[in-house]
Amino acid sequence: MNPLTGVYGAATALRNTLFDRGVLTSRRLEQPVVSVGNLSVGGSGKTPFVIALGELLKERGIRFDVLSRGYRRKTRGVLVVEPEGNAADFGDEPLLIARRLDVPVIAGASRYEAGRVAEQKYKSQLHILDDGFQHRSLARDFDIVLVTEQDFDDCLLPSGRLREPLSALRRTDAIALPQGLAVEHPALKQKPIWRIDRQLILPNLPSAPVVFCGIARPEQFFAQVRAAGVTPAAEIKFRDHHAYDIDDIQALISARRALQGVGFLTTEKDAINLAPEQRLLEPLAVATLNLVIDHPADAVDTILARIAEQKPRS
């Protein structure tokens, strides 16, 4: 094991202890905050979960916004995401959320400052904090953590992919697990378990497409595509949040020609990172990942009930 893993683990434990004891403090926004986070680096489904939760809140007529860091954006400060903008300015995931939900999405390294901007500009009743479990400088009223099957056998960074150990789940209000995953672990006891199902929606596809993506767990996407009956001419992966340039486009076109593929297939997030070069990859099909929460009405009721139990805000 990498010796830096021990250093990372000690630093993470110390930071959490300082927050738990009030040495480090969390700032609170005027409106309630519901955090969606995970334990590992990428690939747990946070973005589709935020979208699924947002759709449920919209069905209830609840006005909300989404607070996001805007990972790998090239801009600074707090920005309101423009749905027709680009990933370099806002980040690919905030753009995807803004386009799918059509609600205010605010990007900022400080989610507190992003929330303040949201409260000044919009009359939201609730904030969804995207990727917020480790962002303890912002107080939250309900913490949802998505846990993958791989998390139970993984270790801390940099040896593994875990940001925090499974014991950190004691801070959660609800744990989301994949449908059908049967595991026994002390960290899962006495916590509400929500089951989620990832559904890949494929449009009309060309035969034998070149399938490519730049996401945290590309093998998962490739496996879902094959399970849907698609036989890829090639499977090509890039690093997560990859910003495509003309050299990448030419490499994809060359692979298609060499392997006699017909067209391309990629993810929504990659389509955002491709723009405007995606026109060079026609025909290009874009797969949509939907996440379904089991017993969704109960989940929303649980969140709203917990918020209502909190002390009145000053």
pLDDT tens digit string along 214-238?
A: 999 999 999 999 999 999 999 999 9
* CA distance readout (Å), 254 to 109, 248, 251, 260, 266: 39, 10, 5, 10, 16
Task: Note the pLDDT of residue 310.
Answer: 82
Half-sphere exposure of 200 (CA within 13 A, CB side): 19
CATH of domain 17-197+293-309: 3.40.50.300
Where does residue 305 rank: exposed (0-12), middle (13-18), buried (19+ CB within 10 A)?
exposed
- The average confidence (pLDDT) of the chain is 95
> Taking each helix axis from N to C terminus, what angle separates 296-309 and 46-59, rounded to the nearest 10 degrees?
80
- Give SS3 for 58: helix
What are the DSSP E strand ranges found in the chain? 33-38, 64-68, 79-80, 105-107, 126-130, 142-146, 174-178, 193-201, 210-213, 234-237, 264-267, 284-293
Task: Note the pLDDT of residue 290.
Answer: 95
Nearest CA-CA partner of 69 in 81, 85, 59: 81
Span 251-266, pLDDT tens digits? 999 999 999 999 999 9
Give mean pLDDT, residues 151-177. 96
Residue listed under structure tokens 């005027």: 30
Task: Note the pLDDT of residue 313.
Answer: 55
- Of the given ranges (14-18, 165-169, 210-214, 309-313), which has the lowest mean pLDDT? 309-313
Give me 310's structure tokens: 């909190």
Give me 286's structure tokens: 């874009």
Alpha-carbon distance 132 to 34, whole Å? 9
CB 298 within 8 A of CB 55: no
Does residue 314 have a pLDDT over 50?
no
Which amino acid, residue 89?
Answer: D
pLDDT band, residue 311 (cuts 50/70/90): low
Reported pTM: 0.95
From first CA to last CA, the distance across the chain in angstroms is: 48
Give mean pLDDT, residues 58-76. 96
